[in-house]
Amino acid sequence: MLRIGIVVGEASGDLLGAKLIQELKEKYTNIEVVGIGGKLLIENGCQSLFDMERLSVMGIFEIFRRLIELLSIRRKLTNYFIDNPPDVFIGIDAPEFNLTLEENLRSKGIKTVHYVSPSVWAWREYRIKKISRAVDLMLVLFPFELSYYDKNNITARFVGHPLASQLNIASDKNGAREALGLPRDQTIIALMPGSRQTELKQHVSIFLQTAVLCQQQHKDLHFVTNLVDERSRKYFINSLNEICPELPVSIFTGDSRRVMLASDLLLLASGTITLEAMLLKKPMVVAYRTSWLTYQIIRRLTRVPYVALPNLLAGRLLVPECLQYDCTPEKLSIELSTWLNDKPAVDKLTSEFDVIHQGIIQQKQYSAVDAIASLISN
């Protein structure tokens, strides 16, 4: 039996992990998976020792407030895997949590893989030393990341992004609208405030106020949102009732891709979701606000001019970013209106997205499963 340890910290990692486990099961007939997983990993047979939501925290200050709990979970996981060593441990994203765990396990002779590179090329470059100690194999999603690991003598493999392959098809906006019961004859703007509770608290109110401003300036708008779970849905509904109960908005849970596919334009929190929006060829406005302390620290440690993945992959500003003090209803509504009023710009953006998309599609010769299997067999 192949024993796999795995830890994911949020919904995007759960999606990557579930797909990886599915592919590993095609190669290995008998697999045991244990660690921390979300709904999708659990459905694929992962024994989750802790609730994934306990790891879903964003921002330095926010992590500090939960530090005792996070340290306790990591210590218990370390002890569990040392006492019950897997053939390989795979940490998916969540570098603040996983890299130390991987370092602890690797020091005991357990092979470690980190899937999804931390943005060391963008900020906090000093983490490369920790990665060197913690990781036997780094699996990167984007080709430009390879050169950084090569120059630091860390074994890395470009495996492409699984979403790029999954979404390499013509989108069916009308089909998505029909499935969700959304109007076909209106312009639909998706409000995607994030999956973490800390993100919801920062963004939901601003996004709803932005929607009100857009509705005042444009006719025939309908809004839609997707929340990650029922708790988040209740938070959104309570905010909606307080701020703009008359806003025409349809609310869904656990169906983010179809919600984005059905939309004409997206207002979303910065994160992995910006990549999915790009692959769906959707014009977007990227927003993010965090605590004052977290922002001050990040601002001083950042080495790149952009935060949204479409902009990072293009090496230039393709979609607007409204961050921290610029994350206001007034500025967000202006940026959304720009896309609504300029179809040629939207068409040009779609062509740019097509080029980037083709460059990150998973190829058979760049299989994550094969890279992991090679590590296990050595």
CB 176 within 8 A of CB 261: yes
Which residue shows structure tokens 């996004």? 207
**What pLDDT does 235 receive?**
96
**pLDDT tens over the chain, length 378 residues:** 999 999 999 888 998 999 999 999 999 989 999 999 999 999 999 999 999 988 876 555 556 677 888 999 999 999 999 999 999 999 998 898 999 999 999 999 999 999 999 877 666 778 899 999 999 999 998 888 888 899 899 999 999 887 787 776 667 899 999 999 999 999 999 999 998 888 999 999 999 999 999 999 998 999 999 998 999 999 999 999 999 999 999 999 989 999 999 999 999 999 889 999 999 999 999 999 988 777 776 666 566 678 888 998 888 999 999 999 999 999 999 999 999 999 999 999 999 999 999 888 876 666 899 999 999 998
- Return the exposure string of 5-37: e unless at least 16 CB atoms fall within 10 Å of the residue's CB, then b: bbbbbbbbbbbbbbbbbebbbeeeeebebbbbb
**What pLDDT does 169 receive?**
61
**What pLDDT does 42 receive?**
97
**What pLDDT does 140 receive?**
94
- E strand or H helix at 194: none
**What pLDDT does 144 receive?**
83
CB 193 within 8 A of CB 199: yes
The side-by-side arrangement of strands in the sheet containing 156-158 is 46-48, 31-36, 2-8, 88-92, 112-115, 137-140, 156-158
Q: How does strand 321-323 pair with strand 249-253?
A: unpaired
> H-type helices in 89-186, by residue range?
95-106, 127-134, 146-151, 162-166, 173-180
**What pLDDT does 378 receive?**
83
Domain annotation for the chain: domains and CATH numbers? 2-160+362-377 (3.40.50.2000), 173-359 (3.40.50.2000)
Say how far apart CA 169 and CA 47 lie, in whole Å. Answer: 33
**What pLDDT does 54 receive?**
86
Backbone angles phi, psi at 327, to 5 degrees: -85, 75
Closest CA to 131 of 87, 96, 88, 159: 96
DSSP 238: H
